[in-house]
Chain A
Amino acid sequence: MNLTEQFLARGAGKAKVSAGDIVTVAPDVMMGNDVTSSLAIKILQDAGLEKFADKQKMFIVMSHYVPNKDIKTSEMTLLIRNFVKKHNLPYFFEAGKGGIEHALLPDQGYVVTGDIVIGADSHSCTYGGIHTFATGIGSTDLAAAWVRGKIWLRVPETIKATFNGIPKHPYTSAKDLVLYLIKEIGDDGATYQAIEYHGEAIENLTAEGKLTIANMAIEAGGKNAIFPWDKSIEEYEKTRAQRPVRPVETDPNATFAREYTWNVENLEPQVSYPHLPSKAKPISEVMEEKIQIDQVFIGSCTNAKMEDLRVAAKILKGKKLAPNVRGVAIPASQKIYREAIKEGIVDIFLEAGFAVTGGTCGPCLGGHYGIIGPGEKMLSTSNRNFVGRTGHPKGETYLCNPAVAAASAVVGHIVDPREVMGS
């Protein structure tokens, strides 16, 4: 069995499962954010459902509109706070005490290698980066799972994606591998399917890099992304996991619905054009267009972990934002924000002229703190660039890695980081 089948077989208590089987599993973590939890809570209240299978597995992380951006969201989050208080839920992460769920939960050891995770947020596939089965659901599924303690899932077909070679370009990162994959297979190329990652370029990534790749499985329509258990994940979990890790071994006889193999030695940093993540182009082509940008956003569950912030800060150190560019930086969790302050990273951002806050999704989903206006162009380390996603429907968002974002912020149009740093 491939990794996804092994996780779902174990979760369902079966010796073997195959693609297409329907299984019922009891997830280890059942998570919602402020937007999706508030709807789940309303659904539960309207239905009069108030007995839950296991409160230790219910997680609510305030991330999208926090701290409250207006009166309407204050009402929305109040509904959640009252629910948490009434049911005395142990895992509630308030604004200022948490961050974006997909950065927070693995980094602080709540989601652990070996887990099955369901999350009412499409980027819940992120946790697959540390060798879990993790997938996104909606609010009704979350409400039902909180009550039942279980959920039915169809065992997906799996795509095997192998990345051979180590990229020579010094600023090609995990983000570029996944933008390239989405370009190659299409924004619906993995619909209903799992993506299992292998190859030298994957083994060479940190666990944070793997989380970045897993995060964007949904941008190809994927149900989940999954990585083999390896030294990088073991190392990551050593200081984080709050429960014992439960890895599975890679089965040499695993079967896959489709296999892709790419050599990425010559892969450059990628930039995805409006309005689909699949519209990726290599930076050398992008540079020729001298695309002027109005705002750079370094943030989101995709690319605002310590590793990402360090890369950006190294480029921004001692430099200023180009006069035409506004900068917004949002470390993905409060813990990361504090670490970034201690390392001097936040000061580098502030010196460069960025507006900085911590632990919220910000303009990634057009929530608050850096919404773009009509006709404006934003270069963003986030994951999705649909029409209206980051603000005004006539605004445009380009997606890239943190190094490209930082370098372009300094130059004023989209550039290869080597333009600023040399080779």
Chain B
Amino acid sequence: MTMQKGIVYRYGRDVNTDVIIPARYMSMQDPKELAQHCMEDLDPDFIKKVKPGDIMIAEENFGCGSSREHAPISIKAAGISCIISTFFARIFYRNAVNIGLPVFELPEAVKNFQMGDEIEYDLSKGFFKNCRTGEKFQAEPFTPEIQEIFDAGGLIELVKQETGQ
């Protein structure tokens, strides 16, 4: 995979699933429809500005709260190519991996980036560069269980391969 560029949407700590996608939209299942309301209680401008290939960066405990998978689905469908956080809430982390949305725990990168920074990155290598500061960041490799899911293109693809259904 070659290097890509995008814009950073940066948020604080405890960004919970109720603000990522409020419960009032929980009866929707279509990713594109969900994306229209992504982050609207926290940053109503996000969905108006975000472009495919942009990256979301947030402080501690990203995705805390509900188990709703609608949260990572709406972020992915909004065009975000990956999320970087100091650390993620557990269920959100699993959900993102399962739908093939890469998530990286990189506390140093979180400190270095500001809202609107340009970022250069290679997802397959877990490599990120802040174009404003010039600083570079390298994520740890995923565990084999998680890498297997990404390689298959998500957990359901993996299950399909396994079961032959």
Interface residues in chain A, defined as those with a beta carbon under 8 Å from any beta carbon in chain B: 22, 35-36, 38-39, 42-43, 47-51, 64-65, 70, 72-73, 75-76, 120-122, 124, 136-141, 143-144, 147-148, 152, 187-188, 191-192, 218, 221, 223, 276, 365-367, 384, 386-389, 393
Residues of A within 8 Å of B67, CB to CB, are: 36, 120-122, 124, 136-138
Contact B155 A141 (CB under 8 A): yes
Q: Which of B27, B87, B98 contacts A76 (CB 8 A)?
A: B27
Partner of B22, one of A76, A141, A218, A388: A388
B98 (CB) vs chain A CBs: closest residue: A140
- A141 B94 Cβ-Cβ under 8 A: yes
How close is B70's CB to chain A, nearest CB, in angstroms? 7
> Which B residues from 61 to 109 make CB contacts under 8 A with A?
61, 64-70, 87, 89-91, 94-95, 98-99
Select A148's contact among B22, B89, B159, beta carbons within 8 Å: B159
In the complex, whether B145 has a CB less than 8 A from a CB of chain A is: yes
User: For chains A and B in complex, what number of residue pairs have CB atoms within 8 angstroms?
Assistant: 139
B91 touches A144 (CB 8 A): no
Contacts of A147 in B (CB 8 A): 159, 163, 165
Q: A35-B26, A72-B28 are in contact. Are A140 and B18 (CB under 8 A)?
A: no
> How many Å lie between the Cα of A120 and that of B69 in the bound state?
9
CB contacts (< 8 Å) of A393 on chain B: these are 22, 41
Distance in angstroms between the alpha carbons of A73 and B70 in the assembled complex: 15
Q: Which 4 A-B pairs have the closest CB atoms?
A: A138-B95, A140-B98, A138-B69, A188-B61
- Of the A-B pairs whose beta carbons lie under 8 Å apart in the complex, a sample of 28, sorted by A's number, is A35-B26, A35-B27, A36-B67, A36-B69, A38-B29, A39-B69, A50-B165, A51-B165, A65-B26, A76-B27, A122-B66, A138-B91, A141-B95, A143-B156, A144-B156, A144-B158, A147-B159, A187-B14, A188-B61, A221-B64, A276-B14, A367-B23, A386-B65, A387-B18, A387-B42, A388-B19, A388-B22, A389-B18
A84 to chain B, nearest CB (A): 17
A69's nearest neighbour on chain B, judged by CB, is B27
Provide the B151-164 mask, 1 if CB < 8 A to any CB of A, else 0. Answer: 00011111110110
Contact call A387/B19, Cβ cutoff below 8 A: yes
Q: Does B24 contact A (CB under 8 A)?
A: yes
How far apart are B34's CB and chain A's nearest CB, in angstroms?
10
Given contacts A122-B65, A147-B159, 7 further A-B contacts (CB under 8 A): A36-B68, A47-B157, A72-B27, A188-B13, A188-B61, A218-B65, A386-B18
In the assembled complex, the Cα of A137 lies from the Cα of B14 at a distance in Å of 19
Q: Determine the distance from Cα of A43 to Cα of B70 in the docked complex, in whole angstroms.
A: 12
| Residue of chain A at shortest CB distance from B14 | A187
Residues of A within 8 A of B61 (CB): 187-188, 191, 221
Question: Nearest chain B CB to A386's CB is how many angstroms away?
Answer: 4
Contact partners of B65 in chain A: CB under 8 A: 122, 218, 384, 386
A366 near B22 (CB under 8 angstroms)?
Answer: yes
Closest B residue, CB atoms, query A192: B90
Q: Is B16 an interface residue (CB 8 A)?
A: yes
Q: Are A65 and B27 in contact (CB under 8 A)?
A: yes
The answer on a CB contact under 8 Å between B165 and A48 is yes
- Residue B117 at the A interface, CB < 8 A? no
B143, CB-defined interface residue at 8 Å = yes
A188-B60, A188-B61 known; A138+B24 contact, CB < 8 A? no
* Complex CA distance for A200 and B28, rounded to whole angstroms: 46
B159 with A187: CB separation less than 8 A: no
Interface residues of B in 7-40 (CB under 8 A from A): 13-14, 16, 18-19, 22-24, 26-29
Contact of B156 (CB < 8 Å), options: A43, A72, A386: A43
Bound CA–CA A143/B61 (angstroms): 25
Give the distance to chain A from B149, nearest Cβ to Cβ, in Å: 10
Nearest Cβ on chain A to B158's Cβ, whole angstroms: 8
What B residues does A192 contact at CB under 8 A?
90
Residues of B within 8 A of A36 (CB): 67-69
- Let me know if A140 and B69 touch, CB within 8 A: yes
A272, chain B: closest CB distance, angstroms: 14
B19 cross-chain contacts in A, Cβ below 8 A: 386-388
Q: How far is the CB of A21 from chain B (nearest CB, A)?
A: 11
Contact A138 B94 (CB under 8 A): yes
Determine whether the beta carbon of A140 is less than 8 Å from that of B145. Answer: no
Contacts of A148 in B (CB 8 A): 159, 162-163
| CA distance in complex: A187, B15 (Å) | 12
Question: Which single residue of chain B is at the shortest CB-CB distance from A120?
Answer: B67
Q: Inside 8 A of A122's CB, which chain B residues have their CB?
A: 65-67, 91
- Name the B residues within 8 Å of A72 (CB-CB): 27-28
Looking at the assembled complex, report how far the CB atom of A41 sits from the nearest CB atom of chain B, in whole angstroms.
9
CA of A72 to CA of B28, assembled, Å: 7
Q: How far is the CB of A408 from chain B (nearest CB, A)?
A: 24
Kindly state the separation between the CA atoms of A22 and B94 in the bound complex, as whole angstroms.
14
Contact B95 A152 (CB under 8 A): no
Contact A188 to B64, CB < 8 A, known contacts A50-B165, A137-B94: yes
Distance from A392 Cβ to chain B, minimum over Cβ atoms (Å): 10
Give the CA-CA distance A143 to B160 in the complex, in Å.
Answer: 11
**Bound CA span A70–B158, Å:** 36
Contacts of B95 in A (CB 8 A): 138-141
Cβ contacts under 8 Å, A47 to chain B: 156-157, 159-160, 165
Minimum CB–CB distance from A384 to chain B (whole Å) comes to: 6
